[in-house]
């Protein structure tokens, strides 16, 4: 299935309906010139973090070598965008490939292509790549500059050099500066929701990020790690109708919304983006026991759906997000209140009854993210499906 076909698989009433009101925030963007040595120390210490949506380092050694050569020569390189989340703590909005090229060159090791996903997981978990991996030939090769000849028959003077063999050029490389644009929200201080729109507008990497990709970066947590695990559950993949996870995390967002409506549906208020952002932020403080309970709860829901046909939540060839999230929130409500897992089975007749219910479908025709329509869908689901 092509990427464009996969994107259209989810029938989502909330898509392109929510606009963040950005003018209610006080946001500044200030330029800072950090030298290479400082940038490396920021990455090594974890002060600069590369968020989850920028999943893997993708440059080859030739392209990374060109960047290093440009820095040695003092040529201009593109600026980096950072979001200041706290004092001396930053998220990279744009610039992962450049920053990681510098990091790996100073480490004198270049990641093998087939190991980069695994290394990214290690980087996320440890805040850096421990030396036992850096010096493991299974993961890395030596980072020697791979550069073409400057003129026919005249070899590039930096070709084959490592960080430790730069000689007189090492100091000038360390002191070269890269312009960093630091984005900071000044007000309100207790609400970082503007970060979502900043990511949305200022990412310049040439990729149109989807809402959940941005949200994953902002609110990465143990709760989100649980969602990723649930997203690979065979029964969920059967229900969603696709064996492979969505490239843009739309399936993760569906799971997030199901939990959000179950737990905080009674307090829903537009916009959907803000509702999901606030719920994601709240879930960062959950302990491992609560996350494990929620994992067990939703997998028990999958078991309760085991008698449903594989595409029970598919309508007109697309996965019906509204039907799924309302069904889960309704049937899991009693179990959640009693802190237990589901008991019993979800009836296909009841799901079809909800799908064709006049009031439920009417609440999907116009103003679908308005509070009254969200409340109506959840109310009708509880009335028709009950709880298990």
Q: What is the pTM of this model?
A: 0.71
Classify residue 199: in a domain, yes or no.
no
The answer to whether residues 12 and 83 belong to one domain is: no
Classify residue 246: in a domain, yes or no.
yes
CB-CB contact of 378 with 265 (8 Å):
yes
pLDDT at 207 exceeding the cut of 60: no
Residue 95's pLDDT is what? 87
Q: Provide the domain count of the chain.
A: 2
Q: In this prediction, what percent of the chain has a pLDDT beyond 70?
A: 86
Compute the distance between CA of residue 309 and CA of residue 82 in angstroms, rounded to an integer. Answer: 47
Domain end call among 187, 220, 240: 187
Residue range 323-343: average pLDDT?
A: 97
Residue range 27-56: average pLDDT?
A: 84
pLDDT at 125 exceeding the cut of 80: no
The answer to whether residues 252 and 168 belong to one domain is: no
Residue 151's pLDDT is what? 60
The answer to whether residues 167 and 309 belong to one domain is: no
The answer to whether residues 117 and 54 belong to one domain is: yes
The answer to whether residues 249 and 372 belong to one domain is: yes
Residue 164's pLDDT is what? 96
pLDDT at 99 exceeding the cut of 60: yes
Classify residue 203: in a domain, yes or no.
no
Residue 2's pLDDT is what? 45
CB-CB contact of 259 with 278 (8 Å):
no
Residue 128's pLDDT is what? 73
Residue range 97-119: average pLDDT?
A: 90
The answer to whether residues 92 and 120 belong to one domain is: yes
pLDDT tens by residue, 153-203: 678 899 999 999 999 999 999 999 999 999 887 776 656 666 676 666 665
Classify residue 196: in a domain, yes or no.
no
Which contiguous run of DSSP H or E holds residue 102? helix 96-107
The answer to whether residues 148 and 269 belong to one domain is: no
Residue range 277-304: average pLDDT?
A: 96
Domain that holds residue 129: 26-187
SS3 268: coil
325 against 6, higher pLDDT: 325
Q: How are beta strands 89-94 and 48-49 bridged, if at all?
A: parallel
Mean pLDDT of the chain: 87
Looking at 86-90, 298-302, 312-316, 337-341, which range is the least confident one? 86-90
Q: 40 pLDDT band (50/70/90 cuts)?
A: very high
DSSP 200-247: HHH--SS----HHHHHHHHS--HHHHHHHHHHT-HHHHHHHT-SSPPT
The answer to whether residues 81 and 168 belong to one domain is: yes
SS3 90: strand
Task: Please count the helices (runs of H) and the strands (runs of E) in the chain.
Answer: 19, 10
The answer to whether residues 81 and 155 belong to one domain is: yes
The answer to whether residues 233 and 177 belong to one domain is: no
Domain end call among 153, 187, 221: 187
Classify residue 192: in a domain, yes or no.
no
Residue with tokens 């494990």: 292
For residue 387 the two structure tokens come to 């709880």
CB-CB contact of 327 with 354 (8 Å):
yes
The answer to whether residues 306 and 340 belong to one domain is: yes
Residue range 123-148: average pLDDT?
A: 87
Q: 1 pLDDT band (50/70/90 cuts)?
A: very low
Compute the distance between CA of residue 261 and CA of residue 268 in angstroms, rounded to an integer. Answer: 8
The answer to whether residues 219 and 361 belong to one domain is: yes
Residue 383's pLDDT is what? 97
Q: 4 pLDDT band (50/70/90 cuts)?
A: very low
Q: 282 pLDDT band (50/70/90 cuts)?
A: very high
pLDDT at 10 exceeding the cut of 70: yes
Q: 56 pLDDT band (50/70/90 cuts)?
A: low
Classify residue 195: in a domain, yes or no.
no
Residue 192's pLDDT is what? 60
């Amino acid at each position: 299935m092509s990427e464009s076909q996969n994107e259209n698989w989810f029938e989502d009433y909330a898509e392109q309906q929510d606009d963040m009101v950005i003018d209610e925030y006080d946001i500044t963007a200030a330029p800072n010139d950090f030298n290479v040595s400082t940038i490396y120390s920021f990455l090594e210490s974890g002060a600069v973090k590369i968020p989850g949506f920028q999943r893997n380092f993708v440059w080859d050694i030739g392209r990374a070598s060109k960047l290093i050569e440009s820095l040695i020569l003092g040529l201009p390189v593109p600026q980096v965008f950072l979001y200041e989340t706290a004092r001396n703590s930053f998220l990279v909005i744009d610039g992962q490939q450049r920053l990681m090229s510098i990091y790996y060159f100073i480490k004198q090791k270049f990641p093998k292509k087939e190991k980069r996903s695994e290394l990214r997981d290690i980087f996320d978990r440890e805040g850096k790549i421990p030396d036992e991996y850096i010096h493991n030939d299974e993961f890395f090769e030596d980072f020697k500059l791979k550069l073409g000849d400057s003129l026919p028959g005249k070899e590039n003077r930096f070709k084959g050099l490592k960080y430790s063999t730069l000689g007189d050029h090492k100091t000038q490389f360390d002191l070269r500066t890269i312009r960093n644009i630091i984005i900071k929200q000044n007000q309100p201080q207790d609400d970082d929701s503007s970060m979502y729109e900043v990511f949305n507008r200022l990412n310049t990497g040439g990729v149109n990020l989807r809402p959940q990709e941005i949200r994953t970066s902002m609110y990465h947590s143990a709760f989100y790690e649980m969602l990723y695990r649930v997203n690979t559950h065979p029964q969920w993949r059967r229900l969603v109708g696709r064996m492979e996870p969505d490239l843009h995390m739309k399936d993760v967002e569906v799971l997030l919304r199901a939990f959000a409506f179950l737990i905080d549906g009674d307090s829903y208020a537009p916009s959907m983006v803000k509702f999901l952002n606030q719920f994601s932020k709240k879930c960062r403080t959950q302990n491992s026991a609560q996350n494990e309970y929620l994992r067990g709860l939703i997998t028990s829901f999958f078991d309760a759906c085991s008698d449903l046909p594989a595409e029970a939540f598919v309508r007109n060839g697309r996965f019906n997000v509204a039907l799924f999230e309302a069904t889960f929130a309704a049937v899991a409500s009693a179990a959640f209140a009693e802190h237990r897992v589901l008991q019993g089975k979800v009836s296909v007749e009841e799901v079809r009854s909800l799908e064709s219910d006049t009031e439920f479908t009417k609440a999907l025709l116009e103003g679908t993210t308005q509070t009254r329509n969200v409340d109506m869908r959840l109310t009708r689901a509880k009335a028709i499906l009950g709880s298990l």
